[in-house]
Structure 1
């Protein structure tokens, strides 16, 4: 965990690792999207703008979902709602906001919607793999305690540590995992019994030893952020290979073959990510359990329930895209011709 990379001198601006990894993830996804977009249009500006609009919509949606999900924590300080550099972005919210933007954008510029959704899905997985590394450096999205050899310790006062020293009724945990003496280590205790530990600098040398190497050290936990990063990278590779096979088969005599039609890569991303995210949630220890009316899996997390919906939507999209006719502008030349005609009309 290393949430702060460095501080810019003179202006005292702290550069946070989560924000840096977000930028790297966007640039990586942007580069890949540009490369794949050459199969759709030779006008790179269209793909560049699409990536930018997806980024804006995705970040807004991801933060809105996080704010709704963690409303009680954020309502103590409404300014913190906008502090995305501290972490707190939910992937599903970003997808829900970004997909309509992609559809509207591609319809406006007469780009093939399904082909664009395919390449966006691949680029998204690459960007997400870097974003999850940012989660690891930031300390959010942490896992459950484990004795596995690759388990990790997070530092005192990290998100994981704060969770372990407090009970969590939202996860059916009536007692803290790590019993930290309140009279020695607490800064204050909230009305609901939540313990807020002292800053590390205010601890005695003995206390510092206890919370870093002694009996009050953070329990070893699953590095779920790294699991998620590896999962996204693997999905990116699988989706890319699937997309390549689909591209090669699209013009063949077997163009009606199952799962090679435009849009199938996008639908496959829904299914694969939904299944893997559902499984990874069992190893995480940060998301509350959900019992609302909309939850299919009562007692599962919000993300697990959304994963179920995502898989169902993905399967439905597979069927729809398989039966649908190919996009009219299904080739790069057709798209470019339409764009040229539009420019000529505008000049007249």
Structure 2
């Protein structure tokens, strides 16, 4: 098992989970900054916006997780603050970040859909990197698998997926790989997009398709009765994303006819 603590500085522990999440945020910010410059948006807005989006995302991700897994925290509510132990739900993070970003964009009169397109590739890249924090914490994995199956993966993954006497599906790896693929698709699609907002909505659709299927093998799913919450949310986001793309294209066609 990999030691979850990267560095000890006196009484202070710097954990790999935090290092990986910080790396994801920094790379995402750099990408969005560059993309803003290329699209005639003052990049300082990106820097200012992330000072709201990052804490809102973390709070939203943790609050979402704790609400749906309250039975794990009812006996020790203070544990809900220990985000370094893992337990951040990406859908809660997206919601928290979206609300904070929308507040900033509305306040300064920025183009909502263009800003959304700028941020979407950074978001999926951050998710792809962040899943390796789950790997370190031995969470977000799938069900048990045979040693023969897990031996198809590199030894460091095989060893880390050996938990309490059994090997498990490296579901974190499946999602990280899918997220990287979505990132590549979004970057490829950007110069070919028909309208602002298409990249952001395409992100919602593509990420949610992968998450829906990967969630089916996870053993730590948040549940709402007999249903996996992430799958329900994924279906809703797929529908919203497709409807949004169609609506934006129809609006652009209407504008083109008026000209």
Q: Same fold (TM over 0.5)?
A: yes
Q: How does 1:231-270 map to 2 (within 5 A)?
A: 231-246=178-193, 260-270=194-204
Q: CA-atom RMSD, angstroms?
A: 1.9
Moved more, 269-278 or 138-147: 138-147
Q: CA deviation at 1:87?
A: 1.0
- Work out which of the residue numbers 230, 239, 255 in structure 2 matches 1:303: 230
TM-aligned CA deviation for residue 241 of structure 1? 1.0
In structure 2, C-alpha distance between the alignment counterparts of 1:155 and 1:275, rounded to whole Å: 25
| Equivalent-residue separation in structure 2 for 1:106 and 1:289 (angstroms) | 33
Secondary structure at the residue paired with 1:38? helix
Distance 2:59 2:243 in 1: 27
Distance across 2 between alignment mates of 1:274 and 1:155 = 25
Counterpart position of 1:57: 56
Unaligned runs of 5+ in 2: 254-259
* C-alpha deviation, 1:150, in angstroms: 3.2
Distance 1:240 1:323 in 2: 23
Mapped contact 1:33–1:51 kept (Cα < 8 A): no
For residues 153 and 101 of structure 1, what CA distance do their matches in structure 2 show?
39
Partner of 2:15: 16
Give SS of 1:23's match: helix
TM-score (norm 1): 0.66
Q: 2:218 aligns with which of 284, 288, 292?
A: 284
How many residues were matched structurally? 245
CA spacing shift, 1:288–1:53, aligned 2, 3 Å: closer
**How much does 1:93 deviate?**
0.5
**Equivalent-residue separation in structure 2 for 1:39 and 1:6 (angstroms):** 38
Which of structures 1 and 2 has the bigger CA Rg?
1
Q: Does 1:79 align with 2:81?
A: no
Higher helix share: 2
Task: Name the counterpart of 1:223.
Answer: 170
Change (3 A) 1:115 1:307: same
Question: Aligned pair 1:271/2:205, yes or no?
Answer: yes
Aligned pairs (5 A) from 1:53-132: 53-132=52-131
Residue matched to 1:183: none
SS in 1 for 2:192: helix
Q: How many angstroms apart in 2 are the aligned matches of 1:54 and 1:237?
A: 23
Q: Distance in 1 between matches of 2:27 and 2:207?
A: 19
SS at match of 1:5: strand
Query: Does the aligned pair in 2 maintain the 1:21–1:133 contact within 8 Å?
Result: yes
Q: Deviations over 1:244-280 (max 9, x none)?
A: 222xxxxxxxxxxxxx211011111111111100000
- TM-score normalised by length of structure 2: 0.88
Distance 1:229 1:52 in 2: 25
Structure 1 residue 154: Cα displacement: 4.3
**Would the aligned equivalents of 2:65 and 2:222 in 1 still touch at CA under 8 Å?**
no
Deviations 1:289-325 (A, max 9, x none): 432xxxxxxx331111111111111112112222335
